Amino acid sequence: MSWLNQHRLAFLLALSRLAGAPVNTLLSLLAIGIALALPAGGQMLLANALQAGRHLAPAPQISVFAEVGADQRAVQTIGERLRNTVGVQEVRFVSRDEALARMKANPGLADVIDALPKNPFPDAYTVLPTDERPAAMEQLAAQFRKLPRVEHVQLDADWVRRLDALLRLGRTGVLLLAVLLGLGLVTITFNVIRSQALAHRAEIEVGQLLGATDAFIRRPFLYFGALLGLAGGATAWLIVAAATLWLRGPIGEFANLYGFSFQLLPLSLADSAALLSAAAGLGWFGAGMSLGQYLRQGR
């Protein structure tokens, strides 16, 4: 209980110090919030780009063609094997007669198809995978090629590879931006805590004379840094939320011009929690670095 009471008092002391300098606190929050809003906004746009890409592009699928001479039982066996494969979401059968009718519906191919002596198309299956990553789809296609009486397997995932490459590029850019601006948050917290330590130098020295440990002296400053970082993260979240609301209308109108409905979504719950946690953690880390250096220099 004594340990918990010490942490409670340190937390309340940090709150009072934040409230005691409203102008400095506000300026620090704006600096941290604007810095963190850039990677947070990048993550929000990346998530929305992924949503839009999945909405606009067709679902990736794998086409499995049976041998032209395969009988009905062999074709049904292929379908059963496909449905029992791990990683398959849906299997749809496309008969050779259905494929022939589709080709005849094309005006440019109708005369050519009518000139053929018999139906040249095989029975086929269209497979929708549960995992749309290129590597996972390649692995599924390799399994399908080993099935008996399967003539050809076509993997329709070129756009998935392009989208995956763009997303990896986007994630790398957001991560790099987050690291650089996270270092900026640590620097801001380091300097703020340094000024706090100098302002309370007499209080620290009296505590040391009375036998206070470094951990006891650090505690309110660590809470100060964590609260400053958390409040800065909340400021960044509010900036991104305001930008989302501001852009939602124009982006929706632009999407309607191209015939599809799209709504810009805010940061997800997981991304919001990660933003606030990272901001508080970086604030705590910067405060620990700053006060640790101050106490070492004081000795």
User: Is a pLDDT exceeding 60 seen at residue 211?
Assistant: yes
pLDDT tens per residue, range 167-181: 788 888 888 888 888
pLDDT of residue 161: 72
What would the two tokens of residue 66 be? Answer: 């049976």
Grade residue 186 by pLDDT with cuts at 50, 70 and 90: confident
Mean pLDDT value of segment 135-144: 87
User: How, if at all, do strands 61-66 and 88-94 pair?
Assistant: unpaired
Are the C-beta atoms of residues 11 and 224 closer than 8 Å to each other?
no
Pick 243 or 159 by higher pLDDT: 243
User: Is a pLDDT exceeding 90 seen at residue 230?
Assistant: yes
Average pLDDT, the chain: 82
**Distances, alpha carbon 148 to alpha carbons 75, 77, 200, in Å:** 10, 9, 80
pLDDT of residue 55: 63
Note if the pTM is more than 0.75: no
pLDDT tens per residue, range 98-115: 877 777 666 666 666 666
From 236, 230, 278, select the one nearest 36 (Cα to Cα).
236
Q: Which residues contact 153 (CB under 8 A, 6 or more apart)?
A: 62, 63, 64, 65, 141, 144, 145
pLDDT of residue 198: 76
DSSP-derived letter for residue 146 is T
User: Is a pLDDT exceeding 80 seen at residue 222?
Assistant: yes
Q: Rounded to whole angstroms, how far apart are CA atoms 2 and 123?
A: 76
Among 34-38, 62-66, 93-97, 142-146, the least confident range: 93-97
